[in-house]
Amino acid sequence: MAGSRDVDASFLDLPLSALTDAALTRALDLGCEHADLRVERIRTQTISLRDARLEALADGEDLGLAVRVVHEGTWGFAAGVVLTAAEAVRLAEEAVAVAKVSAAVNSDRVELAPEPVYGDAVWVSDYDVDPFTVPDAEKTGLLTEFSEQLLAADGVEHVQTGCTAVKEQKYYADTAGTRTRQQRVRIHPDLTALTVDRGTGAFESMRTLAPPAGRGWEYLTGTGWDWRGELARIPELLREKTKAPSVDAGRYDLVVDPSNLWLTIHESIGHATELDRALGYEAAYAGTSFATVDKLGTLRYGSPIMNVTGDRTAEHGLSTIGWDDEGVAGQQWDIVRDGVLVGYQVDRNTARLGRMPRSNGCSFADSPRHVPVQRMANVSLQSAPDGPSTDEVIAGVERGIYVVGDKSWSIDMQRYNFQFTGQRFYRIENGRLAGQLRDVAYQATTTDFWGSMAVVGGPQTHVLGGAFNCGKGQPGQAAPVSHGCPVALFENVTILNTVQEAGR
Q: pLDDT tens digit string along 144-203?
A: 999 999 999 999 999 999 999 999 999 999 999 999 999 999 999 999 999 987 777 778
Per the domain annotation, does 396 fall within a domain? yes
Mean pLDDT of 224-250: 96
pLDDT digits (tens, 9 = 90+) for 398-445: 999 999 999 999 999 999 999 999 999 999 999 999 999 999 999 999
Per-residue pLDDT for 344 more than 50? Answer: yes
How far, in Å, CA of 278 to CA of 283, rounded?
9
Is residue 170 located within the same domain as residue 278? no
Q: Amino acid identity, residue 462? A: H
Is residue 416 located within the same domain as residue 492? yes
Mean pLDDT of 290-300: 97
| Helices 85-102 & 16-29 angle (0-180, nearest 10) | 40
pLDDT digits (tens, 9 = 90+) for 131-141: 999 999 999 99
Look at the chain and report how many structural domains it folds into: 2
- Could you tell me the pLDDT band of residue 1, with boundaries at 50, 70 and 90? very low
Is residue 164 located within the same domain as residue 28? yes
Q: How many CA atoms lie within 13 Å of 415's alpha carbon, on the beta-carbon side?
A: 26
Per the domain annotation, does 59 fall within a domain? yes
Per the domain annotation, does 476 fall within a domain? yes
How far, in Å, CA of 345 to CA of 363, rounded?
9
For position 454, what pLDDT does the model report?
Answer: 98
Q: Which of 243, 272, 291 is the last residue of a domain?
A: 243
- Could you tell me the pLDDT band of residue 3, with boundaries at 50, 70 and 90? very low
Is residue 99 located within the same domain as residue 185? yes
Lowest-pLDDT range, 73-77, 282-286, 457-461? 282-286
Is residue 136 located within the same domain as residue 254? no
User: In b/e form, how buried is each residue of 420-459, taking b as 16+ CB within 10 angstroms?
Assistant: bbbbbbbbbeeeeeeebbbbbbbbbebbbbbbbbbbbbbe
Mean pLDDT for the chain overall: 96
Q: Which of 218, 243, 268 is the last residue of a domain?
A: 243
Per the domain annotation, does 1 fall within a domain? no
Q: How many CA atoms lie within 13 Å of 424's alpha carbon, on the beta-carbon side?
A: 21
CATH at residue 238: 3.30.2290.10
Per the domain annotation, does 2 fall within a domain? no
Per the domain annotation, does 457 fall within a domain? yes
Burial class (CB in 10 A: 0-12, 13-18, 19+), 363: buried
Query: Is-contact 39 7, C-beta < 8 A?
Result: no
Of 460, 128, 59, the C-alpha closest to 316 is 128
Query: Is-contact 7 127, C-beta < 8 A?
Result: no
Is residue 262 located within the same domain as residue 410? yes
- Could you tell me the pLDDT band of residue 4, with boundaries at 50, 70 and 90? low
Is residue 437 located within the same domain as residue 396? yes
Is residue 231 located within the same domain as residue 271? no
For position 283, what pLDDT does the model report?
Answer: 87
Is residue 200 located within the same domain as residue 218? yes
- Could you tell me the pLDDT band of residue 5, with boundaries at 50, 70 and 90? confident
Per the domain annotation, does 134 fall within a domain? yes
Share of the chain above pLDDT 70, in %: 99
Share of the chain above pLDDT 90, in %: 93
Of 165, 151, 177, 240, the C-alpha closest to 20 is 177
Host domain of residue 419 = 250-501
For position 282, what pLDDT does the model report?
Answer: 82
Is residue 371 located within the same domain as residue 495? yes
Structure pTM?
A: 0.96
Q: Which of 221, 243, 265 is the last residue of a domain?
A: 243
Per the domain annotation, does 3 fall within a domain? no
Is residue 91 located within the same domain as residue 217? yes
Is residue 196 located within the same domain as residue 327? no
Radius of gyration of the chain measured on its C-alpha atoms: 24
Mean pLDDT of 89-100: 98
